[in-house]
Amino acid sequence: MTDQLQAERLAAELVWAKEQEEKAREERIAIESALIECLGQKDEGSKTHTVGQWAVTITAKINRSMDWKQWDQVSLKVPQNIWPVKVKPELDLKGLRWLKENEPEIYGMVSSCVTSKPAKTAVSVKLKES
């Protein structure tokens, strides 16, 4: 089998596998919803239910975000030692790439602090338009 034919077969298999994965995900979500309907849920937190031979844990979560402009005003009235805020340093990839291109000497120093490793390579397959 030529590489081209093998690649075409593999592309079709990948599309089929992704479709099966999506169907399985949708089925899983429907079953989870049915379990929640049967057993109920807390407003926030988890509860474990014994259901025959199964231990079913239902965890309800609440996503929260901060209005930072509003916080700037409110924070002045809240003692800093009880602020519900963390400051987390984060690598600025755009800035790092800029240093590499524009300030190689500084990049050399900074890069000694950065660990780089390859991530998973992505593959996308779509039917081409005729």
pTM: 0.67
Per residue, the 3-state secondary structure of 45-94, as one string, reads EEEEEEECCEEEEEEECCCCCCCHHHHHHHHHHCCHHHCCCCCCCCCCHH
Instruction: Tell me whether residue 37 is in a domain.
Output: yes
Q: What is the pLDDT of residues 95-106, one digit of tens each?
A: 999 999 999 999
Instruction: Tell me whether residue 49 is in a domain.
Output: yes
Instruction: Tell me whether residue 24 is in a domain.
Output: yes
- Rounded CA separation 81/86 (Å): 11
Instruction: Tell me whether residue 104 is in a domain.
Output: no
Q: Which residue has the higher pLDDT, 1 or 90?
A: 90
Instruction: Tell me whether residue 103 is in a domain.
Output: no
Closest residue by Cα to residue 38 from 29, 51, 27, 52: 51
Instruction: Tell me whether residue 79 is in a domain.
Output: no
Instruction: Tell me whether residue 7 is in a domain.
Output: yes
> Which domain covers residue 22, as residue numbers?
3-64
Q: What is the pLDDT of residues 5-45, one digit of tens each?
A: 999 999 999 999 999 999 999 999 999 999 999 999 999 99
Instruction: Tell me whether residue 41 is in a domain.
Output: yes
